[in-house]
């Protein structure tokens, strides 16, 4: 058997160099294509991040606006309730807790450190203080806050330390469980019934 060499296909330096250049050019083209793809991916990710950030900023603006509207709505209703009940005492005979009160003060602030508090309505005479907490829509969690006001008031206003203190909760939205909590702790119930303000204080305690 004879082996023959085909000299016409034997690689030469020139052919090998040409092949290397061709492969190098192809590799460079592939690299450029990959670089472009990576760059496009980076651009898309950057645009996505920018859109996400824009969406986040817009969402925060909307939430802030909603909070402002809700806060305004809540404050307006709170002010309405305070005006409604304070007018009832202001233009009534101020007979409350079985006593007649001579003076009424609104939105009185106590600023003693550790005992800061606000008293929506104060009814005052020579021997007693009536503290009325006013809520547009109260719930059972408000009862401990009402009870605390007797203690903070005595610290903030020691000139009334010998006065007996009565507590009341006034709200436009009483419900049975809340009324039972007030009865349990001797807090007067002040509520709207039709066009009238009704005071339930048979269970009242001195605090």
Query: Does the structure show a pLDDT above 80 at 26?
Result: no
The length of the chain is: 207
Q: Which domains does the chain have, with CATH numbers?
A: 84-200 (3.40.1350.10)
pLDDT of residue 40: 77
pTM above 0.85, yes or no: no
Query: Does the structure show a pLDDT above 80 at 24?
Result: no
Average pLDDT over the chain, rounded to an integer: 79
Measured distance CA(207)–CA(198) in Å, rounded: 22
pLDDT of residue 101: 85
Query: Does the structure show a pLDDT above 50 at 5?
Result: no
pLDDT of residue 145: 94
Q: 104, 122 in Cβ contact below 8 A?
A: yes
Query: Does the structure show a pLDDT above 50 at 153?
Result: yes
Q: What percent of the chain has pLDDT over 70?
A: 71
> Which value, in Å, is the radius of gyration of the alpha carbons in the chain?
40
């Amino acid at each position: 058997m004879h082996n023959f060499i085909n000299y016409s296909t034997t690689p030469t330096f020139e052919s090998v160099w040409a092949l290397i250049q061709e492969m190098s050019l192809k590799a460079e083209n592939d690299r450029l294509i990959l670089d472009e793809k990576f760059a496009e991916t980076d651009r898309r990710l950057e645009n996505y991040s920018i859109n996400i950030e824009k969406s986040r900023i817009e969402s925060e603006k909307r939430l802030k606006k909603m909070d402002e509207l809700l806060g305004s709505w809540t404050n307006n209703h709170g002010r309405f309730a305070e005006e409604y009940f304070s007018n009832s005492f202001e233009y009534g005979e101020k007979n409350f807790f079985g006593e007649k009160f001579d003076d009424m003060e609104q939105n009185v602030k106590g600023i003693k450190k550790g005992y800061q508090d606000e008293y929506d309505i104060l009814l005052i005479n020579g021997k007693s203080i009536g503290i009325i907490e006013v809520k547009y829509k109260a719930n059972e969690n408000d009862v401990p806050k009402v009870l605390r006001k007797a203690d903070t008031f005595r610290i903030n206003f020691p000139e009334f330390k010998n006065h007996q203190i009565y507590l009341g909760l006034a709200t436009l939205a009483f419900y049975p469980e809340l009324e039972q909590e007030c009865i349990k702790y001797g807090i007067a119930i002040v509520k709207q019934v039709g066009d009238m303000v009704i005071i339930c204080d048979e269970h009242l305690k001195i605090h």
